[in-house]
């Protein structure tokens, strides 16, 4: 499938110029994503860096020598569910106090939110209006602040940043670059393995080069750990509690911890649905499918999970659905994030689990279901012909 074919189906039609309300003029301003990100960063500043100690610990262990550290890192510390690239990137910060390195990481990840959105709008042959960009920022930045400031999950941020870079490489037909970027994304966070169907959006004659480059990128990061300690292969069996509000429970999975089959199923189902999307010439929805599958099958419900999915649905809203408002992203935030912050109106855990499952199923259905734009275009054409005659 040639890239140009995929590009022809995702050009965003600029919205018509109209008189804007004052608030809309703010939203359309180039500074809005940055200021809005800053506002939400301040909101989370009093309860920040919740997970940063995992990164600090992993980076220190990777640099250490011994039978419990170095290349034995994952065999002896399976709770560190982050890829080696994350710890390599964090290593230069290890000399600073934890609070200082965490502050620098939080500020950097927070700044990455508006920057990644800007990079999405600059994908080749894509036109996004200032209003579309601003509305996407209005939805994305509050949940991105969870990732950047509250939790400071460098691994997720790296995986998502490398994903956006890979989208640029795929859209330009750069097979080796795209493959290595996607491999690096998985080297930062293993669930990013499910992004690999994106390589099939490249021209067919470049598939082999892309496949070997991706395999090499994965092997370069992970094989040294496996060779040094084969127990590294069991890192995926690490379990977390299956919380009462998880989307697994509405499907009858009531085990107290992560089922053995769960992690492989997340990756395999994400890849499978991604392949379906590529076959339907919807390759830009692959990241959102992978992340939606990961979340619907995950026993945890950490709010920062939502940030990656919202970034992916923003890509879908701007590049594939081409709507004036980022409706799919709004649905994700309304179904997954807002209900947990309603105070006395917050649903029960069981209700949150059902809402989570329904929201994620809707996202998957929209991306794999009928393309509503086709009948809309036909109706518009029919009306135009009728009026013209």
pLDDT one-digit tens code per residue, 29-71: 999 999 999 999 999 999 999 999 999 999 999 988 878 889 9
Q: How confident is the model at residue 373 (pLDDT cuts 50, 70, 90)?
A: low
For 305, phi then psi, to 5°, come to: -55, -35
Got the DSSP string for 109-132? Answer: HHHHHHHHHHHHHTSTT----HHH
Distance CA 13, CA 363 (A): 23
241 phi, psi to nearest 5 deg: -60, 140
* Mean pLDDT in residue range 352-367: 96
Least confident window among 86-90, 213-217, 380-384: 380-384
Residue 167 has pLDDT above 90, yes or no: yes
Query: Tokens for 355?
Result: 């809402």
Q: What's the average model confidence in pLDDT over 310-329?
A: 94
User: CB–CB of 351/241 below 8 Å?
Assistant: no
Give me the mean pLDDT over the 144-159 stretch: 97
pLDDT at 236: 81
Q: Could you tell me the CA-to-CA distances from 304 to 149, 179, 316 in Å, in that order?
A: 10, 26, 19
Nearest CA-CA partner of 271 in 290, 247, 249? 290
pLDDT digits (tens, 9 = 90+) for 268-296: 999 999 999 999 999 999 999 999 999 99
**Mean pLDDT estimate for the chain:** 90
Distances (CA, A) of 83 to 59, 186, 214, 297: 11, 7, 15, 20
pTM above 0.75, yes or no: yes
User: Domain ranges in the chain?
Assistant: 3-16+29-378
Q: What is the rounded CA–CA span in Å between residue 241 and residue 217?
A: 32
What pLDDT is attached to residue 6? 42
Q: Which residues have CB under 8 Å from 188's CB, separation 6+?
A: 82, 83, 85, 86, 89, 155, 158, 159, 162
Burial class from Cβ neighbours inside 10 Å (0-12, 13-18, 19+) for residue 376 reads exposed
Confirm if 213 and 176 have CB atoms less than 8 A apart: yes
Task: Name which of 121, 111, 252, 270 is nearest 189 in CA terms.
Answer: 270
Q: Tell me: the pLDDT tens digits for 224-250?
A: 999 999 999 888 888 899 999 999 999
């Amino acid at each position: 499938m040639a890239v140009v074919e995929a590009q022809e189906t995702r050009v965003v039609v600029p919205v018509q110029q109209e008189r804007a309300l004052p608030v809309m003029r703010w939203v359309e301003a180039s500074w809005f994503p940055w200021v809005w990100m800053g506002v939400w960063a301040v909101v989370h500043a009093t309860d920040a860096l919740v997970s940063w100690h995992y990164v600090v610990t992993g980076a220190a262990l990777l640099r250490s020598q011994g039978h419990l550290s170095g290349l034995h890192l994952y065999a002896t510390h399976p709770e560190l569910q982050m890829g080696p690239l994350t710890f390599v990137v964090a290593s230069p910060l290890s000399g600073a106090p934890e609070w200082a390195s965490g502050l620098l990481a939080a500020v950097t990840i927070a700044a990455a939110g508006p920057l990644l959105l800007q990079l999405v709008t600059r994908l080749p042959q894509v036109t996004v209006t200032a209003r579309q960009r601003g509305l996407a920022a209005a939805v994305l930045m509050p949940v991105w602040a969870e990732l950047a400031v509250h939790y400071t999950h460098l691994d997720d941020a790296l995986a998502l940043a490398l994903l956006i870079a890979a989208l640029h490489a795929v859209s330009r037909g750069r097979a080796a670059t795209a493959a290595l970027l996607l491999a690096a994304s998985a080297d930062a966070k293993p669930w990013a393995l499910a992004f690999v169907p994106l390589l099939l959006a490249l021209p067919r004659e470049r598939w082999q080069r892309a496949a070997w480059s991706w395999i090499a990128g994965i092997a370069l990061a992970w094989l040294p750990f496996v060779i040094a300690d084969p127990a590294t292969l069991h890192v995926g069996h690490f379990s977390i509690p299956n919380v009462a509000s998880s989307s697994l429970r509405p499907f009858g999975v009531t085990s107290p911890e992560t089922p053995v089959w769960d992690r492989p199923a997340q990756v395999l189902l994400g890849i499978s649905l991604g392949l379906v999307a590529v076959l339907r010439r919807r390759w830009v929805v692959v990241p959102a499918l992978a992340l939606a599958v990961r979340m619907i099958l995950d026993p945890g419900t950490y709010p920062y999970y939502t940030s990656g999915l919202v970034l992916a649905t923003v890509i879908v809203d701007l590049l594939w659905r081409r709507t004036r408002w980022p409706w799919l992203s709004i649905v994700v935030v309304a179904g997954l994030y807002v209900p947990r912050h309603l105070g006395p109106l917050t649903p029960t855990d069981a209700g949150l689990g059902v809402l989570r499952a329904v929201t994620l199923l809707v996202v998957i259905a929209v991306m794999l279901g009928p393309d509503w734009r086709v009948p809309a275009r036909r109706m518009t054409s029919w009306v135009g012909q009728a009026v013209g005659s």
